[in-house]
């Protein structure tokens, strides 16, 4: 699977495995991949948490949108979006016109187990600062997840993910689905 009609863009909630899967996909087809968050950090010369702290979420989302558009226009084969990159219907529709959008969808419980161990993510850090209660944090994070789910579910392809699957297994399943999608 090395011929693509359009770039493959991975979306999903934070800690869903987008970056690891994009890296595995790139390795399988011997191609580079672009992680939007890493690209933003490179361009801004600061980490995502630093950008949020220094400039706020509105600024970050503005540069995220600009970066997504620029990177997709450069046509790399594999792109992983940040968890909040699908900010509205307009950007979602544009991404779908330019690429094959794949929603990586592990169960929320898998995502939360991954998130709870990494409090450096801006959303998690903010929730932990407001409430040290794991159940309250979980409920707040789940509300964000459910709100974003409405956009994620509009992807061309949804790839469920089991907790014991490696990024390479997820990548292989995505390539199978993309092949079927392109031939339909």
pLDDT tens, residue by residue, 45-71: 999 989 988 999 899 999 999 999 999
Residue-wise pLDDT tens digits, 74-99: 877 899 999 999 988 999 999 999 99
pLDDT at 143: 93
Tell me how far apart the alpha carbons of residues 75 and 8 are, in angstroms, rounded to a whole number: 9
Chain segment 17-47, per-residue pLDDT in tens: 999 999 999 999 998 899 999 999 999 999 9
pLDDT at 13: 96
pLDDT recorded at residue 1 = 44
Instruction: Report which of 104, 110, 167, 166 is spatially closest to residue 141, judged by C-alpha positions.
Output: 110
Long-range contact pairs involving 113-118 (C-beta distance under 8 Å, separation at least 24): 114/15, 115/14, 115/15, 115/141, 118/15
Give the closest residue to 5 by CA, choosing from 152, 179, 172: 179
Half-sphere exposure for 53 (CA within 13 Å, toward CB)? 10
pLDDT of residue 34: 96
Mapping DSSP to helix (H, G, I), strand (E, B) and coil, where does residue 37 land?
helix
42: left (phi over 0), alpha (psi -120 to 50) or beta: alpha
> Coil, strand, or helix at residue 21?
helix
Token pair for 116: 């709870």
Is the pLDDT at 2 greater than 70? The verdict is: no
**Structural domains of the chain, ranges and CATH numbers in brackets:** 8-175 (3.40.50.300)
pLDDT of 169 reads 98
Q: pLDDT tens digit string along 110-152?
A: 999 888 877 666 667 777 777 778 888 889 889 999 999 999 9
pLDDT at 122: 65
């Amino acid at each position: 699977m090395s011929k693509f009609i359009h770039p493959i863009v991975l979306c999903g909630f934070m800690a869903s495995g987008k970056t690891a899967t994009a890296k595995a996909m790139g390795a399988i087809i011997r191609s580079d991949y672009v992680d939007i968050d890493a690209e933003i950090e490179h361009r801004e010369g600061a980490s995502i948490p630093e950008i949020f702290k220094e400039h706020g979420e509105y600024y970050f989302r503005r540069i995220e949108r600009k970066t997504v558009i620029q990177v997709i226009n450069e046509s790399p084969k594999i792109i992983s979006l940040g968890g909040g990159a699908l900010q509205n219907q307009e950007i979602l529709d544009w991404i779908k016109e330019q690429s094959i959008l794949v929603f990586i969808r592990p169960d929320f419980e898998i995502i939360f187990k991954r998130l709870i161990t990494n409090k450096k993510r801006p959303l998690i850090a903010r929730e932990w600062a407001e409430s040290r209660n794991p159940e309250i944090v979980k409920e707040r994070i789940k509300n964000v997840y459910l709100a974003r789910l409405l956009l994620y579910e509009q992807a061309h392809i949804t790839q469920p993910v089991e907790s014991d699957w490696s990024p390479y297994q997820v990548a292989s399943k995505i390539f199978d689905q993309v092949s079927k999608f392109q031939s339909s």
